[in-house]
Amino acid sequence: MKRPWVRQTRADDIPELIALQARVYPAIPPWSRRKLREQLEVFPQGQVVAESEDGIVGCASSMIVMWNDWAESHSWKEITGAGTFEHHNPDGKTLYGAEVFVDPDLQGQGVGHLLYEARRTLCRAMNLKRIIACGRLPGYHRYADEFSAEFYAQKVVWGDLHDQVLSFQIKEGFSYCGVIEDYIPEDEESRGCASIIVWLNPTYNPNLPTLIPEEIPL
């Protein structure tokens, strides 16, 4: 069977994406069709799906932000405009990872890596300075009675605990920058917490402008 591949998201992917997201997060309400349409209208270049011969198997959605506007504190709802990407700002230098997920039946087989590689390709192609994301900490609930989310994340960074999301992101070359609370309050597994992570684009040239071509080969 052919390995999954990545491509830019299309409007006709929306129903499949919503169904997949509901399987990935049974306890969190999925995006609405309207919000996904808005994301595609606001910043089509930043919306990527992974596809196999059987259909959509993952997605990575991103927007550009002026990071200084959000660095001190923000929630997922605030920065993404509750999923509408209304704060997408092409004058910013930061590609912000708003969502990434992979079909639960295919996790651990490199699809997440393909999606992260696509994000790095976008960042390089647009001459953006970095990718920043706030990653869920889905393993934290197992230790929440014992220690803080910050200490949990540190243990993951030190290699003493494994977290499905943060361990993956570290393997993908991201640096851990600390924990924020109340990022997604409904995210019981992470107890609402998320880790801020960053990847600096080694090819970023501050003397050149941001480029947003209509299509970016992935």
Ligand X SMILES: CC(C)(COP(=O)(O)OP(=O)(O)OC[C@H]1O[C@@H](n2cnc3c(N)ncnc32)[C@H](O)[C@@H]1OP(=O)(O)O)[C@@H](O)C(=O)NCCC(=O)NCCS
Residues that bind ligand X (CB under 6 A): 24, 100-102, 107-113, 135-136, 138, 164-165, 167-168, 171
Minimum distance between the CB of residue 51 and ligand X, rounded to whole angstroms? 14
Task: Give 26 or 206: the residue with its C-beta nearer to ligand X.
Answer: 26
Shortest CB 91 distance to ligand X, Å:
25
Of 41, 72, 27, nearest to 184 (Cα)?
Answer: 27
Rounded to whole angstroms, the Cα distance separating 185 from 113 reads 27
SS3 150: helix
Helices (H), the chain: 14-24, 33-42, 76-79, 111-125, 149-158, 166-171
Least distance to ligand X, CB of residue 34, Å: 21
Q: What angle do CA 175, 179, 182 make, to 5 degrees?
A: 140
Shortest approach of ligand X to residue 124 CB, angstroms? 19
- Pick between residue 150 and residue 172 the one whose CB is nearest to ligand X: 172
- With respect to ligand X, which residue has the nearer C-beta, 77 or 212? 77
Structure tokens at 11: 């409007």
Return the number of the residue (19 or 211) whose C-beta is nearest ligand X.
19
